[in-house]
Structure 1
Amino acid sequence: MMDLVSGRFGRYFPCLADPARRSSIGLKAALVALHLVYAGVLFLCDADLIQKTKREPWYTALYVALFVVTLIQYFVTAGSSPGFVIDAMRAINEADTLFGTIGVAKHAASSKNGSLNLTVDSSQSARSGSTSWSKVVMELYPPGTQIRTFTCGYCSIEQPPRAKHCHDCDKCVLQFDHHCVWLGTCIGQRNHCRFWWYLCEETALGLWTVILYCSYLKTSIARAWWRDVIMILLLITLIIALIFLLLLLLFHSYLILTNQTTYELVRRRRIPYLRSVPERVYPFSQGICRNLYNFCCARTSITDLERLPTALEIEEKSRPYTCCDFLTCRCC
């Protein structure tokens, strides 16, 4: 009977047939419900807030606008791609194949009046296209690195530096940071900026909501005890969540300023290309200002890949800062 019901349910709602997608949709619905509960209880219980809304509608309008923008940012981040290695490989191979086809066509047109006849073997073109990604990846690693050291054992795809296979998504992710359960997707090169902005908006919304709850308890603590109990319980859980959000925001801000990922920071000793790098050295950092610019503005294409720094560059980064370095903005 249960199999029949689940079969009909999956036929009418195909998006909920997969248990993983069901769990992801359930988490999204729970998060939206939590937002609605905290805001709804506040507006239902706080009569002073309703009166303030009538006197100063702009105040409540700003709060509602932040509420809506935060939920929109959540769904945009959850639906965005973190940047998969397979997509970057296809983009580079297709661009290389297109460039080669255009070059051969121009060469054939220019030799139309001569005695040179050019033919293109389709199998040879396919083979050259399949090796384009391998050449790009090889150039990102120091000379002498073997292919098997950075080939994914699950996808059998050559991984560029900072990429990792996600077992939840079953794909290799560019500049892998972590897999977010609440978002139902990985955080990587293409959506890390969106994720940081979502944390900012969620933290601001939580802080504003805490202020509103404290204002209610300050003016209406003795009017109805059952309302006060509900508001106090909600306020305690909200403060705990706000502390977690604030710490997470500060942590990811530190990662952005130093051009690191959560995976690289936590598993530094287990990543082959980071084992020989000293603890206090950030091999991919280009200075605070450049890191911020690359994080916010420069990462527009999935084919923007970072190469591993050379031994001389790591040695330069290991050198302690001096007064002259600060004057010349070496840290920036």
Structure 2
Amino acid sequence: MGVSCGSNFRDTWDRTSDRCSRFFPCFSDPARRSALTLKLALVVLHLVLAGVIFLFDNDLIVKTKQEPWYTAIYVVLFVATLIQYFVTSGTSPGYVFDVQRAIDERDAAARRASFASIQPASSKNDSVSITVDARNYNRGNATAWTKLVMDLYPPGTSARNLTCPYCHFIQPPRSKHCHDCDKCVLQFDHHCVWLGTCIGQGNHCRFWWYICEETALCLWTSILYIGYLKSNISKAWWADIIMILLLATLSISLIFLLLLLLFHSYLIMTNQTTYELVRRRRIVYMRGIPERVYPFHKGVCRNLYLFCFGRSSIYRMEALPTAEELEEKSRPYTCCDILSCRCC
């Protein structure tokens, strides 16, 4: 009897899981399911930290009625932070496969247009395709990506040494294969567990803005908690304990966010990535460069401009600097350089 009930329960559970997987494909993948659970937990944590202060602090409620704009700005920041979180997590970091496919399609379209303009209509033939790793490529397209990427490296570089052993693509400079996403990413920075995605050229700017908004929200919420504790520290001891514990959580989060914001701001101003800074000696194109030289640094102002306004396309790739450019970058700054805005 017990075995029969257990079998019926398992069958019912399996049928329910199949239906959920059919209507919600993200539940069928353990990695996506865990990422979805983490996102849900993060939203709940935001709601709890912001809701508790409005639940306990009567003075804040009175202030909201007298000055509704104060709470309105806080709510707008709260909603904007959550929206920025989901937008950043849903934005492509700039996968090499997508870039290669776009370049190959553009090259194939140019070839077809050129071929159609030369050949008569009766002699047009379909292009021959080959299959590599279960993906179809036009036979002439393989050289378009190879030529483009190899031009970004110094002459004499072997394409075999630049080929990703997992994706089998020739990697452009500053790209790396992410084992969590199982894809190569342009200007790979790191894989963010909280967002459930890589941070790369396509979403690094959105990631910085999310950190900035999250830091401001955490700081504002901490100020509200401190104001409550100053006014109501002796009224209800059990409420004070809850508020102190939540304030401690906010303080730890605020310190982490501030450090993260400063760190990424430094990376942006010097045009570096976390991967290049941490694993500098292990990266092939960074080994022969002195420690204090930033090979992709173009000046603070230009770096900020490219980071904020030059990322409209994730297909922008940077060539490795020449020996003359590296020598110029390694030259120490002087007073004349500062006056001439060389650092900018």
TM-score norm. by structure 1 comes to 0.94
* Alignment correspondent of 1:176: 188
* Alignment correspondent of 1:309: 321
Change (3 A) 1:233 1:177: same
Tell me the distance in 2 between the aligned counterparts of 1:299 and 1:234.
Answer: 38
* Alignment correspondent of 2:226: 214
Tell me the distance in 2 between the aligned counterparts of 1:209 and 1:123.
Answer: 62
Q: Secondary structure at the match of 2:141?
A: helix
Q: Percent same amino acid among aligned pairs?
A: 67
The CA deviation at 1:121 is: 6.8
Q: Secondary structure at the match of 1:165?
A: strand
* Alignment correspondent of 1:123: 128
* Alignment correspondent of 2:48: 37
Change (3 A) 1:144 1:211: same
The CA deviation at 1:7 is: 5.2
* Alignment correspondent of 1:89: 100
- Deviation string 1:200-247 (CA, Å, 9 cap, x unpaired) is 000000000000000000111111010011001100111001000000
Tell me the distance in 2 between the aligned counterparts of 1:55 and 1:64.
Answer: 16
Change (3 A) 1:55 1:176: same
* Alignment correspondent of 1:47: 58
Q: Of 13, 16, 22, which residue of structure 2 is paired with 1:8?
A: 16
TM-score norm. by structure 2 comes to 0.91
* Alignment correspondent of 2:39: 28
Tell me the distance in 2 between the aligned counterparts of 1:303 and 1:49.
Answer: 48
The residue identity in structure 1 corresponding to 2:257 is: L
In the alignment, structure 1 segments of 5+ residues that lack a partner are none
Tell me the distance in 2 between the aligned counterparts of 1:158 and 1:144.
Answer: 15
Tell me the distance in 1 between the aligned counterparts of 2:151 and 2:102.
Answer: 17
The CA deviation at 1:323 is: 1.4
The CA deviation at 1:6 is: 4.7
The residue identity in structure 2 corresponding to 1:106 is: S
Tell me the distance in 1 between the aligned counterparts of 2:115 and 2:240.
Answer: 77
Is it true that 1:136 corresponds to 2:148 in the alignment? yes
* Alignment correspondent of 1:194: 206
Return structure 1 stretches of 4+ with deviation > 3 angstroms. Answer: 1-4, 117-121
Tell me the distance in 1 between the aligned counterparts of 2:338 and 2:232.
Answer: 53
The CA deviation at 1:8 is: 2.5
Is it true that 1:68 corresponds to 2:79 in the alignment? yes
* Alignment correspondent of 1:318: 330
* Alignment correspondent of 1:224: 236
Aligned length: 326
Q: Secondary structure at the match of 2:177?
A: strand
Q: Secondary structure at the match of 2:188?
A: coil
- Deviation string 1:285-331 (CA, Å, 9 cap, x unpaired) is 10001100110001211221111111111111001111111111111
* Alignment correspondent of 1:18: 29
Q: Is the 8 A contact 1:283 1:317 kept in 2?
A: yes
The CA deviation at 1:99 is: 1.1
* Alignment correspondent of 1:165: 177
Is it true that 1:185 corresponds to 2:193 in the alignment? no
How do 1:139-150 and structure 2 match up within 5 A?
Answer: 139-150=151-162
Q: Is the 8 A contact 2:187 2:273 kept in 1?
A: yes
Tell me the distance in 1 between the aligned counterparts of 2:151 and 2:256.
Answer: 40
The residue identity in structure 1 corresponding to 2:76 is: A
**Aligned CA-pair RMSD:** 1.7
Tell me the distance in 2 between the aligned counterparts of 1:126 and 1:19.
Answer: 35
